Each structure stands twice: as C-alpha cells, then as structure tokens.
Amino acid sequence: MDRGQVYENFLYVVALAAGCCILVPFKLNESNVNGHCLLFGELNVLTNAVVTGSQAYCIFVFYSSLVNTVFAALLGFLKSCCIVNTDGLR
C-alpha cells in the first residue's frame, strides 16, 4: 500500500470519527434540554433566561453530520472491497 492510499484510508477514518464526535454529543445535549436547540441560542444575563435557537439549525447540523458519517463509512467500505479503484490513469 503506497503513501497516498494510507492517507486516503486515514481521512475516511477521520471523517467517520468526526461525524460521530458531532452527532453523539449534539443529540445528548438536545435531549438534556427537553428537545430545545441551543445552537445559536442567547442568554439574557439580567433575567437569567435562555432563548433557544431555531430548530432548523439543529436539524441541519444533525442530518449533515449523519450524511457525512454514512458517506465516509460507505466509501471506505467500498474502497476496501476493491469495488472502487482509486488508482490514477496510467
């Protein structure tokens, strides 16, 4: 295996780990605040109240991370099964 393939495999693993590192804490945090989205939320210091952000932000981040994780796993799996040949044209 040459250096390029090692880097490519490493990037698949990094993309998979990054997706998991975003998805799991994001959903845990959302479940701890009764399903409210704290992404781009605001804190009013005088009244000590939290104004939650739009739910659309949380939905977009969750599903984009999920798609990224699935694509990284799928492409890494297909590459390891030799279905996708990533060698250059010679």
15-34 tens-digit pLDDT: 888 888 888 888 888 778 88
| Residue 90 resides in a domain | no
Compute the average pLDDT of residues 80-88: 63
pTM over 0.75: no
Determine what percent of the chain is predicted with pLDDT higher than 70.
Answer: 89
Residue 88: what pLDDT?
A: 61
pLDDT at 78 over 60: yes
Is 85 a domain residue? no
Length of the chain: 90
Domain assignment of residue 28, yes or no: yes
Within-domain flag for 89: no
Domain that residue 57 falls in: 3-80
87 belongs to a structural domain = no
pLDDT the model gives residue 8: 82
Q: Report how far residue 85's alpha carbon sits from residue 79's, in angstroms, rounded to the nearest whole number.
A: 7
Number of domains in the chain: 1
The mean per-residue pLDDT over the stretch 31-56 comes to 84
